[in-house]
C-alpha cells in the first residue's frame, strides 16, 4: 500500500510541476507584455506552450493583448511575447527585464510561504514546486544562446539573456545609429541606409549596424545588396544560423535556388534540430521537380516538427506525384486535424487535388476555392477550378 501511495505522490508531483510550469511561463510572458502595452500602441501577443503555433490554441482577445494558450504535457515548450512598434532603448530594457523580474517575484513569494511557520505540509510542497518551476523559468530565459529559438513560422527569437546582451551592445553605439533606428521606425529606409553606411565608412562594424541595414534592405526588397553587405560582414564576424538563413531567403528571391540550397545546408549544419531549413529545401526541390529528394527533406523536417501544416501539405503533394494516395490522405488528415477551421491555404489546395484524384469533384472544387480565397497562388489553380466546374456542370 505504501508503494502505491508513493507512486501516486510521485505522479501527482510530476503533474503539478507540469501545471505550475505553464503558470510560471504565463506570468513570465506577462512580465514582458505589460511594459510592451505601456510603451507601444500596437498589438501584443503572448504565447504559452508554443513558439507561435496558433493551431488548437485557446485564444483570448483582451483589447490590444491577445493570449494564445496551449497546454501539452508531452511538449516542453515555454512561451514567448511578440510585439511591434518602436521603443527607446530604456523601454526595450524594461520590457526584456519584465519577464525575469516576474519570475523572480514569483519565486520570492513562494520562498516567503516556505519560510512561514504553521503552514501545512500540502502548502509547503506546493510552494516548493512553484519555487522550483519559477527558478527554472528564470534560468532558462536568462541563458544566452547565439543559435536562437525556432518559432513556429520558421523565424528566430532569442532568450531574454541573449536579448539583453544584444541590447547592451547597442547601447554602446554612436548616436547616429539611434537616429537611423528612428528613420527605420518611420519607414524612411533610404535615410536608415545612408546613416548606417556612414557608420561603416567610419570603421564602425558592430553587428547591430549590419542588422539594421539588412532589415532596411529587406523592406525595400533589395536582395542583391543584402548579399553584398554579407561579403563585408563575414570578413569581421562569423556567420551564424540566422545569417545563412537570411542569405538563403535573399538567394531564393533572386532565383538563385542552388545557392539557396547551399545556405540552407549551412543552417542545418549549425542547428540540426531546426526544421525550417529542411522545409525550405523541400519547397525548392519541389519547385525544381525533384520530388524524391524533396520528400526526403520534408520527412526530415516533419520528424523535427510534426505539427507544421505547410510541411504536411508539401509532403502530400509529393505523395500525389508518386500516386501514393494512402500516404497522401494520412498526412492531409493529420494536417486538417491541426486546423479544424480549415484556414491553411496549402492544405486546402492539396486536399482539393487529392479529392480530384479520388473522383470527388465537388469536394475538390470546394477545397480549391477555399485555397484561392486564402491567397494560395499556383499557375494552374484557376484552370483547375474551371475544369472542375465544367465537369460538375456536365453531370447535372
> What is the pLDDT at residue 43?
87
Residue 27 within any structural domain of the chain? yes
Q: How confident is the model at residue 152 (pLDDT cuts 50, 70, 90)?
A: low
Residue 308 within any structural domain of the chain? no
> What is the pLDDT at residue 162?
76
Residue 234 sits in which domain range?
173-238
73 touches 115 (CB < 8 A): no
Strand partners, 61: 66
Q: Which long-range contacts (CB under 8 A, 24 or more apart) does 274-277 make?
A: 274/150, 274/241, 274/304, 275/150, 275/300, 275/301, 275/302, 275/304, 275/305, 275/308, 275/311, 276/150, 276/154, 276/245, 276/301, 277/245, 277/248
Average pLDDT over residues 243-264: 95
Share of the chain above pLDDT 70, in %: 82
Averaged confidence pLDDT in the chain: 84
Are 137 and 179 members of one domain? no
> What is the pLDDT at residue 220?
94
pLDDT at position 77 over 70:
no
Largest CA distance in the chain: 83
Are 39 and 91 members of one domain? yes
pLDDT at position 88 over 80:
no
Q: How confident is the model at residue 174 (pLDDT cuts 50, 70, 90)?
A: confident
Q: Which of 12, 148, 46, 32 is nearest to 92 (CA)?
A: 32
> What is the pLDDT at residue 16?
61
Residue 353 within any structural domain of the chain? no
Average pLDDT over residues 364-379: 91
315 touches 302 (CB < 8 A): yes
Average pLDDT over residues 158-165: 76
> What is the pLDDT at residue 18?
62
Contacts for 125 with CB less than 8 Å, ≥ 6 apart: 13
Domain count, the chain: 2
> What is the pLDDT at residue 246?
93
> Which position has the higher pLDDT, 296 or 150?
296
Are 178 and 229 members of one domain? yes
Pairing of strands 65-69, 44-48: parallel
Query: How far is the C-alpha of 379 from the C-alpha of 390, rounded, in Å?
Result: 19
Average pLDDT over residues 307-316: 94
> What is the pLDDT at residue 198?
93
Q: How confident is the model at residue 82 (pLDDT cuts 50, 70, 90)?
A: confident
49 touches 72 (CB < 8 A): yes
Residue 302 within any structural domain of the chain? no
Are 194 and 48 members of one domain? no
Are 70 and 22 members of one domain? yes
pLDDT at position 9 over 80:
no
> What is the pLDDT at residue 357?
92
> What is the pLDDT at residue 360?
92
> What is the pLDDT at residue 278?
95
Contacts for 366 with CB less than 8 Å, ≥ 6 apart: 352
Are 207 and 147 members of one domain? no
Query: How far is the C-alpha of 167 from the C-alpha of 219, rounded, in Å?
Result: 22
Are 93 and 213 members of one domain? no
Could you say which of 140, 164, 188 is where a domain stops? 164
Could you say which of 141, 164, 187 is where a domain stops? 164
Residue 295 within any structural domain of the chain? no
Are 60 and 193 members of one domain? no
Residue 178 within any structural domain of the chain? yes
> What is the pLDDT at residue 114?
66
Residue 362 within any structural domain of the chain? no
Could you say which of 164, 192, 223 is where a domain stops? 164
Q: What is the DSSP letter of 290?
A: -
Q: Which of 133, 157, 166, 97 is nearest to 22 (CA)?
A: 133
pLDDT at position 72 over 70:
no
Average pLDDT over residues 124-153: 67
Alpha helices in the chain (DSSP H): 2-39, 89-115, 121-142, 160-171, 175-185, 189-201, 207-220, 223-233, 241-253, 257-270, 276-287, 291-304, 309-321, 325-338, 345-357, 361-373, 381-395
Q: Is 12 exposed, middle or buried (0-12, 13-18, 19+ CB in 10 A)?
A: exposed
Q: What is the CATH number of the domain that holds 221?
A: 1.25.40.10
Most confidently predicted of 17-26, 101-110, 145-154: 101-110
Are 33 and 126 members of one domain? yes
What is the H or E stretch that residue 68 is in? strand 65-69
Query: How far is the C-alpha of 393 from the C-alpha of 396, rounded, in Å?
Result: 5
Residue 36 within any structural domain of the chain? yes
Contacts for 212 with CB less than 8 Å, ≥ 6 apart: 177, 180, 181, 184, 192, 196
> What is the pLDDT at residue 160?
76
Are 188 and 153 members of one domain? no
Average pLDDT over residues 375-383: 88
Average pLDDT over residues 361-369: 92
Are 80 and 201 members of one domain? no
Instruction: Name the grid cell of 266.
Output: 549551412
Instruction: Name the grid cell of 240.
Output: 551564424
Instruction: Name the grid cell of 140.
Output: 532558462
Are 141 and 209 members of one domain? no
pLDDT tens digit string along 323-336? 999 999 999 999 99
Rounded to 10 degrees, what is the CA torsion of 389, 392, 394, 396? -130
Q: How confident is the model at residue 340 (pLDDT cuts 50, 70, 90)?
A: confident
Amino acid at each position: 500500500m505504501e508503494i502505491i501511495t508513493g507512486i501516486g505522490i510521485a505522479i501527482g508531483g510530476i503533474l503539478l510541476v507540469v501545471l505550475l510550469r505553464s503558470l510560471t511561463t504565463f506570468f513570465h510572458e506577462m512580465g514582458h507584455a505589460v511594459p510592451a502595452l505601456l510603451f507601444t500602441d500596437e498589438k501584443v501577443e503572448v504565447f504559452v506552450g508554443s513558439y507561435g503555433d496558433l493551431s488548437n490554441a485557446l485564444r483570448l482577445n483582451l483589447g490590444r493583448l491577445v493570449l494564445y494558450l496551449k497546454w501539452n504535457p508531452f511538449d516542453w515548450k515555454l512561451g514567448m511575447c511578440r510585439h511591434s512598434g518602436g521603443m527607446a532603448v530604456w523601454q526595450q530594457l524594461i520590457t526584456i527585464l519584465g519577464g525575469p523580474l516576474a519570475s523572480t517575484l514569483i519565486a520570492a513569494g513562494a520562498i516567503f510561504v516556505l519560510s512561514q511557520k504553521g503552514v501545512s505540509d500540502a502548502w509547503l510542497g506546493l510552494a516548493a514546486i512553484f519555487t522550483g518551476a519559477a527558478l527554472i523559468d528564470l534560468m532558462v530565459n536568462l541563458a544566452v544562446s547565439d543559435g536562437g529559438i525556432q518559432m513556429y513560422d520558421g523565424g528566430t527569437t532569442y532568450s531574454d539573456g541573449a536579448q539583453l546582451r544584444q541590447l547592451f551592445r547597442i547601447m554602446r553605439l554612436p548616436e547616429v545609429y539611434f537616429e537611423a533606428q528612428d528613420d527605420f521606425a518611420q519607414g524612411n529606409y533610404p535615410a536608415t541606409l545612408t546613416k548606417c553606411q556612414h557608420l561603416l565608412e567610419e570603421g564602425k562594424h558592430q553587428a547591430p549596424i549590419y542588422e539594421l541595414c539588412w532589415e532596411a534592405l529587406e523592406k525595400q526588397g533589395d536582395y542583391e545588396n543584402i548579399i553584398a553587405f554579407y561579403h563585408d560582414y563575414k570578413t569581421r564576424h562569423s556567420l551564424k544560423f540566422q545569417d545563412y538563413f537570411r542569405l538563403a531567403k535573399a538567394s531564393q528571391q533572386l532565383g538563385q535556388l542552388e545557392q539557396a540550397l547551399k545556405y540552407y545546408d549551412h543552417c542545418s549544419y549549425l542547428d540540426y534540430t531546426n526544421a525550417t531549413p529542411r522545409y525550405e529545401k523541400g519547397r525548392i526541390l519541389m519547385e525544381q521537380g525533384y520530388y524524391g529528394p524533396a520528400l526526403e527533406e520534408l520527412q526530415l523536417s516533419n520528424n523535427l516538427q510534426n505539427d507544421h501544416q505547410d510541411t504536411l501539405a508539401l509532403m502530400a503533394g509529393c505523395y500525389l506525384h508518386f500516386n501514393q494516395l494512402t500516404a497522401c490522405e494520412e498526412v492531409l488528415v493529420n494536417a486538417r486535424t491541426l486546423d479544424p477551421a480549415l484556414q491553411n491555404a496549402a492544405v486546402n489546395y492539396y486536399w482539393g487535388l487529392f479529392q480530384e484524384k479520388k473522383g470527388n469533384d465537388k469536394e475538390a472544387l470546394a477545397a480549391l476555392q477555399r485555397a484561392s480565397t486564402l491567397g494560395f497562388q499556383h499557375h494552374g489553380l484557376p484552370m483547375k477550378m474551371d475544369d472542375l466546374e465544367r465537369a460538375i456542370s456536365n453531370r447535372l
